[in-house]
Structure 1
Amino acid sequence: MSVTAQFAELYGSGPEGVWAAPGRVNLIGEYTDFNDGFVMPLALPHTTVAAVSRRTDGVLRVHSADVPGGVVALGAGDLVPLTETGWPAYPAGVVWALREAGHTVPGADIHLTSTVPTGAGLSSSAALEVVTALALNDLYELGLTGPELAVLAQRAENEFVGVPCGIMDQMASACCTDGHALYLDTRDLTQRQVPFDLAAVGLQLLVVDTRVKHALGDGAYAERRAGCEAGARALGVRTLREVEYAHLPAALERLAGEEEKIRRYVRHVVSDNHRVERVIALLDTDDVRAVGPILTEGHTSLRDDLRVSCPELDLVVSSSLAAGALGARMTGGGFGGSAVVLTESADADTVTKAILESFTASGHTAPRVFPAVPSRGARRVA
């Protein structure tokens, strides 16, 4: 049954429109966005789809085809941060953020379905937020741009849901374009669409969903964000973006009296910002294969300095490199989720087979492996 037919069955009439917003995978630049740093995500073909109609009675009704349970009804004017739980908090948070920003959103009927894997570090929550924001923006003629919608969606996740994420995921879902990676400066939200047609140069970027679930709201992500902020304070800067890579050794010396983990977090963020700059320079000169070792460097930093990897993610990296991949790293918040693997197209099947066999030999659940195809950001589809 189509999403339109499902909506009509739920709510008694067809929707006013249907919208889609993608998940994302991040090529390089992890835990840098809330430090005002650089990131380079690309949108995936996997999307969250929302069929939506307006309401004028102050009622917000939401339903998901992918989660057991019926329609959840909320008062659009009664939404209070940190009081809703589960997936309805995300669309409710968007309505709250829009209303807090002064936009008239008296209510809506929303039906959702998604192909973005949840808990895989591929931004299923951002896709849910952005598709809701875009639909309401169009229906209520709010006139907001993609970046403005992304900022409101981030506010929904930060303040209403209670996850202190940066802006990367929402910007990727709202603003990415087909065939490109998004080079984003999260300090001022300037962006550049960078051509990223791997097939044309005989390469593939594989996404490996380890099927190990993570939840960024469990405190580990927040602890690292707090540690980065503590490092910035100790260095007398507003954010770690202000620490230049060339000055990293001196900065680490100045942090000698801080907790050891603070020094590790600072080292990761400053060096990962530098890795993004190295990758963009390589892409600008069409030296795409040289990106591989930088991805692997990034994983080592995430594993050893930030300590957000896990045995399954480490196994993806080691087994793919042993099978001839050019580079690999975990992507997203970590503690499970996904990894990306850059490989020659001719070697993709061999690398995939090696990853699957290594998981079997280690007694892990088989991962899901698929190519990352740079895709369109949020849009109206019907």
Structure 2
Amino acid sequence: MSMSIWAPGRVNLIGEHTDYSGGLVLPIAIDRGIRLEVDRGPQIALVSNGDSIELAADGSGDAHGWGRYAAAVGRELALLGRPAVGIAGTLDSDVPQGAGLGSSGALEVVVALALCAAAEFEVDPLELALACQRAERRAVGVPSGILDQAASLLGREGHALLLDCGSLEYRWVELPEELAIVVIDSGERHSHEGSGYADRKRELESGHPHRVRHVRTENERVRALVGALERGDLEALGPIFAASHASLRDDYEVSTPRLDRVVDAALAAGAIGARMTGGGFGGSIVALAAREDARGVLQRTLEQAGVQGWIVRPAAGATRRRTDPSRNPA
């Protein structure tokens, strides 16, 4: 079994810090992600940028750094009944870590798909997303939601994924052709385990009025944005993005001055709308732009704020492709 497996990162258009409370999210899978070239092996042996891990085929063993995610995925799949079949492969990524683009979720998904393929153990995509979500919690102890893993597995080209994280019902929302999505990395790095992410969840569950208000109004904004996209009402998108960012800054308190500056720079550069995306405390912003002006918006923004950026395409979800040499007919 030789396979090439691809798992995309994600950008959340709206619905921030709502997934772990069973709310609504609207992410896209993007055309940046993690590729794993892999074969079966006696254990889990993976290499990434010269750093290697070796674990038992069921994920047990000592792991550190990014290896914690691979180990946790192996353990969660073992609990689902996956036979202990190992993999050996090389990871290659063009998703920057800590930029709020779902790099850990993509890593979990690509490893999970490889382990399932090696053991000929098939899992429904949503069940696999849930297993990867549990793996992230196991790996780093952060009470994250299902957004990243679901987006990576269920993405559809040209569409956003409207997911109810409570019922797990979902549908795709077609994005207007004339709309481009621009992502700008603030350069401010974060990790969920080292940020206030878990604190915000605890505050929400305890009934903190500002945290509760953010989640309630953010769910309303998800519905409003979906309605505007489906009507083709591009003028309505900017105010919805602005309200979302203000709520994340003031009510949920997960934005930073640097993220705020990048949002302001994108708007000054001509973006239709801009807001922080991801867990906050650093990372990236997402901006909407007219397709013909997207490169200009990106360039003008980076002249004022941010360290790098991309025009991203709403992409298909994770894929597996056999790369075994073709056999000559007998």
* TM-score bracket for this pair, using the shorter chain length: over 0.9
Aligned residue in 1 for 2:282: 336
Task: Pick closer, same or farther for the CA change 1:357–1:104 going to 2, 3 Å.
Answer: same
Is 1:223 aligned to residue 209 of structure 2? no
Structure holding more strand per residue: 2
Q: Distance in 2 between matches of 1:356 and 1:296?
A: 20
Larger Rg: 1
1:293 aligns with 2:239: yes
- SS of structure 1 residue aligned to 2:189: coil
Structure 1 match to 2:217: 271
Counterpart of 1:302 in structure 2 is 248
Out of 124, 135, 149, the residue aligned to residue 103 of structure 2 is: 124
String of CA shifts for 1:76-118, please: whole Å, max 9, x gaps. 45727xx632001111111110002222133222321111111
Residue 368 (str. 1) matches residue 308 (str. 2):
yes
Residue 112 of structure 1 aligns to a residue whose secondary structure is strand
- Aligned-residue offset at 1:207: 0.5
**Which one of the candidate residues 185, 209, 220 is aligned to 1:209?**
185
The Cα RMSD (Å) is 1.7
Q: Give yes or no for the alignment of 1:72 onto 2:12.
A: no
Q: Rate the CA distance shift 1:144–1:348 in 2: closer, same or farther, 3 A.
A: same
In structure 1, what is the Cα distance between the partners aligned to 2:110 and 2:59?
22
Q: How does 1:305-316 map to 2 (within 5 A)?
A: 305-316=251-262
What residue is the counterpart of 2:327 in the other structure?
A: none
1:98 and 1:105 in contact (8 A); partners too: no
Shift of 1:219: 4.4
- Given that residues 19 and 381 in structure 1 are in contact (C-alpha distance below 8 angstroms), is that contact kept between their aligned partners in structure 2? yes
CA drift at 1:354: 3.2
Asked whether 1:151 is paired with 2:151, we answer no
TM-score by length of 1: 0.80
- 1:277-317 Cα offsets, whole Å, 9 max, x none, are 11111122222331121011100111111111112210121
**Structure 2 residue runs without a partner (length 5+):** 323-330
* Cα distance in 2 between the residues matched to 1:77 and 1:196: 40
Following superposition, the deviation at residue 60 of structure 1 comes to 1.9
CA distance in 2, matches of 1:110, 1:345: 38
Q: Which residue of 2 aligns with 1:22?
A: 8
For residue 36 of structure 1, what is the aligned residue in structure 2? 22
SS in 2 for 1:275: helix
SS in structure 2 at match of 1:27: strand
Contiguous gaps of at least 5 residues in structure 1: 1-14, 232-261, 360-365
Residue 135 of structure 1: how far off its partner (Å): 1.7
Alignment partner of 1:62 is 2:38: no
The aligned residue for residue 378 of structure 1 is: 318
- Deviation (angstroms), 1:195: 0.8
Whether the 8 Å contact between 1:208 and 1:368 is mirrored in structure 2 is yes
Aligned pair 1:357/2:309, yes or no?
Answer: no
1:62 to partner: Cα distance: 1.7
Aligned to 1:89: 68
Conserved? CA contact 1:60–1:109, under 8 Å? yes
The amino acid across from 1:209 in the alignment is D
SS of equivalent residue, structure 1 residue 18: strand
Residue 268 of structure 1 contacts residue 305 of structure 1 at CA under 8 Å; is this kept in 2?
A: yes
- Looking at structure 2, the residues matched to 341 and 110 of structure 1 have their Cα atoms a distance apart, in angstroms, of 35
* Structure that is richer in helix per residue: 1
Taking only the aligned residue pairs, the percentage that are identical comes to 43
Alpha-carbon contact 2:15-2:219 (below 8 Å) kept: yes
Amino acid at match of 2:27: P
User: What is the DSSP-based 3-state SS (H/G/I as helix, E as strand, rest coil) of the residue aligned with 1:208?
Assistant: strand
* Shift in CA distance, 138/114, structure 1 to aligned 2, threshold 3 Å: same
Which letter maps to 2:221?
A: R
- The one-letter code sitting in structure 2 at the alignment partner of 1:52 is V
Match of 1:283 among 206, 209, 229: 229
Amino acid at match of 2:205: E
Give 1:140 deviation, angstroms. 1.5
Cα distance in 2 for residues equivalent to 1:374 and 1:289: 21
Asked if structure 2 preserves the Cα contact closer than 8 Å seen for 1:207 and 1:341, the reply is yes
Residues 321 and 78 (structure 1), Cα distance of their counterparts in 2 relative to 1, 3 Å cut: closer
Other-structure match for 1:49:
35
Contact 2:3 / 2:37 at 8 angstroms: preserved in 1?
Answer: yes
TM-score by length of 2: 0.92
